[in-house]
Amino acid sequence: MTIIADLSKNIAVLLALALVYSVIAQRWERDTWQGQVLAGLAFGGAAIIGMMTPVTLRPGLIFDGRSIVLSVAGLFGGAVPAAIAALLAAAYRLALGGTGATMGLGVTVTSAAVGACYHYWLRRRHVRAIKVSDLLILAYVVHVAMLLWTLALPADIRWETLQAVALPVLTIYPIGEVLLGLLLNADESRRRAQEALRESEARFRKFFEHEPTYCYIVSPEGTILDVNQAALAALGYQKDELVGKPLAALYAPEWHPTMEQLFTKWSETGSLRNEEAVIVTKTGERRSILLSADAVTDSAGDILHSVSVQQDITARKQAEEELHKHRQRLEQLVTERTRKLAFSESRYRQFVESPLVGIYQTDTEGRFTFVNKRLAEMTGYSQEEAPAMTLMDVVGPGQRRWLADRMQKRLAGELPLDTVEAEIVRKDGTRFTALVAPAGFFDEEGNFAGYIGALIDITERKRLEEEQRRLLNLMAGREVRMAELKEAIRQLRAQLQDARMRPVADDPLRREESDE
């Protein structure tokens, strides 16, 4: 039992030294080479102190906790601290000399090497928090290796030594290694948490100072504790003019009741989201903002302060007002345009439904897509039959090619728009003469879309023109005959005068000449 008690005391000393190391290490940047060297020196020093108070089985054969210290140095520090600590411990052990020097040197090197290898193996597995099971595995690998190094002792003391140390090495040493590992692991976790907190605070400070929105840190009583540069620049204040002042003082007077309600809501819920308000700058300018706030609490849940963010929406509000005005104007224009279109459509409908003019529309192939009622009456075809027909189907056979050529030339710009007479064939085979005025129309992209045109029945007009020509011809013949009769009378009168005969008293020709 004496050896177990003595080893326990030795390990206790090492644990105390590890705590001292933990306190000192908080001042080191252990990821730098200076930190790694200092860590190696600290672990090496602890190993040497352990060897200064060893359990001595016989002169030159000592046991202490250096295997624990060196393996933990490799586990938490890596290769550099482990190598430095092992070098110091090995040098001291060789200086002590004795029967167990070879075994002591082998245990020193093996412990440091196993700890460093285990360190990199855990890192490759991305293990950040070392568990008790990880420490137990390391402890038993290191101390089974220690027992194997007893083979380096002289044969006459080898078995006796193994019997004396096997039990404490496989019980006390693993416990000491786990305890030391847990202490250092807790310190490591605390260090990482502190680093994460510092990084978080640095990121928050960078965000706070450079965020383009207006940011404030506000006490639970509503007092401004800090304010960022964006808010100071927009409001026109210096930081010392706002820090210590109530945040409510920044809001327009008519918004104070609303802000009191929002402050109560924040006190109860710890959060506000996109609450609209109006703030007033130092120069009296009013700016519209959206307020959001979140409470920062301690571990007990008590509010420490809030982080309030004001997003300036003044430009957006002005744009919305302008947009509203433009929308109203647009609605007026649409209403007016709709009224005009309705009137235009009414006139168009009256024209299309005219009882005098036939209206039609065709596609690019000349096939009817629309005919009005009057055109259907003219041709004898119903409006339902029209989509199966083309314009040329109702034009007299002798004029079809002529009319198609004129339409193509007009579409190409070779002929001006005009009206032509064409013979139209009704469904029953009868024919009539009509004025035809086809014109091409185009879509929004300028592509030819078909023809639209009008057709007027001029049969009656043609009949009247023919009758007029006949009457004019008759009148022209009568005048010719009257002139011939007058000439004959003049000749007869001349003959009577030559025969010295008196003409009749009532000579109508003479009366006509005297009237002239």
Q: How far apart are CA 70 and CA 116, in angstroms?
A: 9
Average pLDDT over residues 162-169: 87
**265-283 pLDDT, tens per residue?**
888 888 888 888 999 988 9
Stretch 428-441: mean pLDDT, rounded?
A: 85
- pLDDT above 90: percentage of residues in the chain: 10
**Which residues contact residue 416 at a Cβ distance below 8 angstroms, ignoring those fewer than 6 apart?**
410
Examine the pLDDT at 103 and tell me if it is beyond 90. Answer: yes
The pLDDT of 21-47, averaged and rounded, is: 72
Contact 236, 227 (CB under 8 A): no
Q: b/e for 211-226, b at 16 or more Cβ within 10 A?
A: eeebbbbbeeebebeb
Query: Is residue 464's pLDDT more than 70?
Result: yes
User: Between 33-52 and 66-77, two packed helices, what is the crossing angle to 10 degrees?
Assistant: 170
In this prediction, residue 200 has a pLDDT band, given cuts at 50, 70 and 90, of low
Question: What mean pLDDT is reported for the chain?
Answer: 80
pLDDT surpassing 50 at residue 1: no
Instruction: Let me know: does 358 contact 405? Beta carbons within 8 Å.
Output: no
Considering only CA atoms, which of 145, 151, 147, 153 is closest in space to residue 115? 145
Distances (CA, A) of 252 to 63, 89, 216, 255, 257: 79, 74, 17, 5, 10
Q: Residue 34: its pLDDT value, please?
A: 77
- Identity of the highest mean pLDDT range in 1-10, 26-35, 279-288, 344-353: 279-288
Over range 24-39, report the average pLDDT. Answer: 69
Q: What is the CATH number of domain 211-312?
A: 3.30.450.20
Q: Which CATH architecture has domain 358-457?
A: 2-Layer Sandwich (3.30)
- Spatial distance between the Cα atoms of 46 and 65, rounded to a whole number of angstroms: 9
Q: What would the pLDDT profile of 215-256 be if each residue is shown by its tens digit?
A: 888 888 888 888 888 888 888 999 888 888 888 888 888 888
Q: What distance in Å separates the CA atoms of residue 79 and residue 383, rounded to the nearest whole number? A: 98
Neighbouring residues of 114: CB distance < 8 A, sequence distance ≥ 6 = 71, 74, 138, 141, 142, 145
CA atoms within 13 A on the CB side of 486: 12
What is the CATH code for 2-202?
A: 1.10.1760.20
- If one compares 205 and 407, the residue with the highest pLDDT of the two is 407
Give the model's pLDDT for residue 112.
93
What pLDDT does 6 receive? Answer: 60
Most confident range (mean pLDDT) of 3-17, 404-418, 493-507 is 404-418
What pLDDT is attached to residue 92? 92
State yes or no: pLDDT of 207 exceeds 80: no
227 sits in the region (left: phi over 0; alpha: psi -120 to 50; else beta) called beta
Q: Pick from 252, 260, 259, 258: which is nearest to 278 by CA?
A: 252
State the pTM of this model.
0.47
More confident residue, 477 or 98: 98
| Whether pLDDT at 148 is above 90 | yes
Domains 211-312 and 358-457 belong to one CATH topology: yes
Q: Which two tokens stand for residue 485?
A: 């009769």
The pLDDT value given to residue 454? 84
pLDDT digits (tens, 9 = 90+) for 302-353: 788 888 888 888 888 888 888 888 888 877 887 787 777 666 666 666 656 6
Domain coordinates in residue numbering, the chain: 2-202, 211-312, 314-342, 358-457, 476-515
Evaluate whether 252 touches 234 at the Cβ level (below 8 Å): no
- Beta-carbon count within 10 A of 236 CB: 12
Judge contact between 107 and 162, C-beta under 8 A.
no
